[in-house]
Structure formats: structure tokens, C-alpha cells
Amino acid sequence: MRLQDILRLKGTHVHVISPDAALDEVVRELIAHNCGSLVVCEAGAGAAHGPMVGIITERDILRACAAGRGPLDRLKVAEIMSRRPLTAAPNDTLDDAMGRMTEHRIRHLPVLDEGRLAGIISIGDVVKAHHDQVALENHYLKSYIQS
């Protein structure tokens, strides 16, 4: 299974935020969308977003709070975001993505297609896809044995 297969099922919409946004806005967005990360993108024309410049996660906000860096409404995304997040390509395999996410202890993996943001995969998406794949293989094996 490839990441493009997961994106085809879950969709390609990605919640984004500007590097100039304050952290309290990030918290509101994370809660509103019930997600654990936002991709940081430069402003684009109209409703479109510009290129990805980083990612900000719940962990980043917790680290900023623990470090006593100041009130969330005064800290900017650009100050604490991960500037070079690990990314994947649509043609990457599920196993490759799972291995990289586990090795680097990350839960969100932006998917870039020729440098453009094509979607985002969470560890939950990876686990679900793996489970579905194993269940399907199990079904076929049982059918084969019983026939």
C-alpha cells in the first residue's frame, strides 16, 4: 500500500497556519479541527496557501509552555515550529512511512508531491491502513485454507 492510497481514502485537505500566527490561535485551530498538528505555510493568493515552511504540533506548544517562553498570545508560530519536518512522497510505501515515523518519534507526516503539499498522514492513519491490510490478507488466507 502507498501513501497516495491512504490519501485517496481520507482526503487531501490539510489544516494550515501562518508562521506569523500566535500560539493561542494554534491552540484554537487544533481544538476546532480535533487534530494534533498544523502545517505552517506562507500566505498565498486568495484562499490558497503558499509553500510549506514547517509544522507545529501539540508537543511544540507543550515544550514552549514548559520552557516558560511567555504567554501563548505573544509567541509566534515561527519561533517554535519545526522548520525542516520529515516529509514523505505519495508513492512511498506504508511500511516506509511507519518505519520513519517510529524511528523519529513523530505522529504527523506531511506528504509532498513535487514540492507541493499533497496531504498529511497521521500515525492513526498508518495504523488503520496497516490493520485494514492485515485484515484483508487474513480474510484471503482463511478463504484459501477453507476451499
SS3 track for the chain: CEHHHHHHHHCCCCCEECCCCEHHHHHHHHHHHCCCEEEEEEECCCCCEEEEEEEEEHHHHHHHHHCCCCCCCCCEHHHHCECCCCCECCCCEHHHHHHHHHHHCCCEEEEEECCEEEEEEEHHHHHHHHHHHHHHHHHHHHHHHHC
Instruction: Please give the grid coordinates belonging to residue 111.
Output: 506528504
Query: Which pTM does this prediction carry?
Result: 0.86
Which value, in Å, is the radius of gyration of the alpha carbons in the chain? 18
Task: Say if strands 108-113 and 116-122 run parallel, antiparallel, or are unpaired.
Answer: antiparallel
What span, in angstroms and rounded, lies between the C-alpha atoms of 76 and 133? 41
Structural domains for the chain: 3-146 (3.10.580.10)
pLDDT (tens place) for every residue of the chain, 147 residues total: 999 999 999 999 999 999 999 999 999 999 999 999 999 998 764 556 788 999 999 999 999 999 988 899 999 999 999 999 999 999 999 999 999 999 999 999 999 999 899 999 999 999 999 998 888 888 878 888 887
Q: What is the pLDDT of residue 5?
A: 96
